[in-house]
Amino acid sequence: MTRFVALEEPVTEGAAVSGIGRAFRSFEQAGMHEILRRARAEEPVFFAPDIGYYVVTRRADVLAVFRDHARFSASIALNPMRPLPAEVCSFLREGRFTHQQIQANADQPVHTRVRAAAAQFLNMRRFLGMEAEVRALVEDYADRLEGAETVDLVAEMTYELPIRAILLLLGIPAEDAPQIKRWADKRLLFTFGDLTPAEQMDAARDMLAYWHYCRELVEDRMRRPGADYASAMLAIRGGDDAVLTLNEITGLVFGILLAGHETTTNASTNLIHALLSHPEEWARVVADPGLVPNAVEEGLRFASSVVSWRRIAKEDVEIGGVRIPAGGHVLLSLASANRDAAEFTEADRLDVGRPNARHHTSFGYGIHVCIGAPLARLQLRLILEVLARRFPAMALAPGQELDWLRTLCFRGPRSLIVAPGGLAGRAALAA
């Protein structure tokens, strides 16, 4: 079961703090790429004292850690970033929050067993079969932009659209989407944010309600099975706890009702922001819709919504010439790996025609690679196709300062103001 503490406290024995380590701001997004570029060149593995993690910045090293299951564990991937107060731990325990380590933060053989079951439902065939329904959703949300001088793309499209797609898989009514999004926002901050004890307790209340919503959904599907994810997992279980337990099935629902949409909300916003920030690349996509799939991959590389992931060293190990002790916490910088010049020419330039754009690490790598990546790609492709076709002159509204999520692993602006019809009225907008 999940333990409501920081699990293993990071072992920092012998950690040397450099200028780069002191300059690295773990929860801040502004200036992130500049410090990571410097790190790749000068100190590809450095210690970040504000979080107690060794940060790995070069793509080859990031992939090597993802592959090395013998020496690195995924067990801390979903740990709260700050230790939880005793009252928060007691609240969750007494409230029967029994979420287990089964996917992103599980090692073999548990991860292998659970993923094998989930993959019988969450697979390419099913995701591609959803294209017509997802396209209809995208068109409906795009209708909200019609005729507006300026509009918040997050509020009107990218915040809620991805959860609507996930609800299709779960057989959950659309009217539950706003509540689930609010719960998911709190869970994201609970796990990856830099919260005060009072904020942790506030988030814990919502997370417990979120967990019981998922548990009740599974119980309902036991009585009234349907053609949805929970029903499929129950059928695969067949009453055998050796295949899946009921608690694990609740955990699978709980997991997809966060990972299945929060990443895509941020990825789609980041994609449009990146393209509109480079009008020449937006124009290329508008002129040639055949570039859309590769533009999606380049957007994922250039402006990933998942900027880092976590591992813990099982034994003393060396990465990039730096000794990491057993119990040392490791932060794999996906954002840095995605701009490594050893793999990507002119890595800091957005190029929708980049031939190896798909070599990004934004969905992870190896056995833990995101199981929902095909669905995320489908949604991003359809969002870009529809917006480029219906709003070819779309532009960023001038003068806005983006408010980025303040979390360790996720990156995305809380709002993005765009002019769907272009900036013919720029002076009026500026006023």
Query: What pLDDT, on a 0 to 100 scale, did the predictor assign at position 15?
Result: 78
Give me the half-sphere count of Cα atoms (radius 13 Å) on the Cβ side of residue 227: 2
Residue 154 has what pLDDT?
Answer: 98
Please compute, for residue 230, the number of CA atoms within 13 A of its CA located in the half-sphere on the CB side: 30
- The tokens describing 60, both together, are 């080859």
pLDDT score at 7: 47
pLDDT at 11: 73
Q: Return d(Cα 381, Cα 372) in angstroms, integer.
A: 14
Give the closest residue to 217 by CA, choosing from 187, 186, 176, 183.
176
Strand residue runs (E) in 36-127: 45-48, 53-56, 72-73
Supply the pLDDT for residue 8. Answer: 54
Spacing of C-alpha 387 from chain mean position: 22
Residues 192, 153, 304, 23, CA torsion sign: negative
At 422 the pLDDT is 83
The strand pair at 53-56 and 329-333 is best described as parallel
- Sheet with 72-73, edge to edge strand ranges: 45-48, 53-56, 329-333, 308-313, 72-73
Segments of the chain scoring below 50 in pLDDT: 1-7, 425-431
Cis peptide before 398 (omega within 30 of 0): no
Q: What span, in angstroms and rounded, lies between the C-alpha atoms of 241 and 220?
A: 19
Sign of CA dihedral 185, 190, 194, 198: positive
Give me the pLDDT at residue 424, please.
61
3-class state of residue 286 by DSSP = helix
- Shortest CA distance to 256 belongs to which of 325, 170, 367? 170
Q: Extract the tokens encoding 410.
A: 């996720």
**What is residue 344's predicted lDDT score, i.e. its pLDDT?**
98
**Axis crossing angle, helix 161-170 with helix 262-277, rounded to the nearest 10:** 150
Distance CA 159, CA 276 (A): 18
Is the Cβ–Cβ distance between 379 and 134 less than 8 Å? yes
Q: What is the pLDDT of residues 237-248, one digit of tens each?
A: 999 999 999 999
Q: Among 184, 179, 177, which residue's Cα sits nearest to residue 161? A: 177
Q: 312: part of which helix (H) or strand (E)? A: strand 308-313
Position 18 scores a pLDDT of 83
User: Cα separations (Å) of 36 from 29, 215, 340, 366, 409?
Assistant: 11, 41, 10, 23, 14
Distance separating alpha carbons of residues 204 and 210, to the nearest angstrom: 10
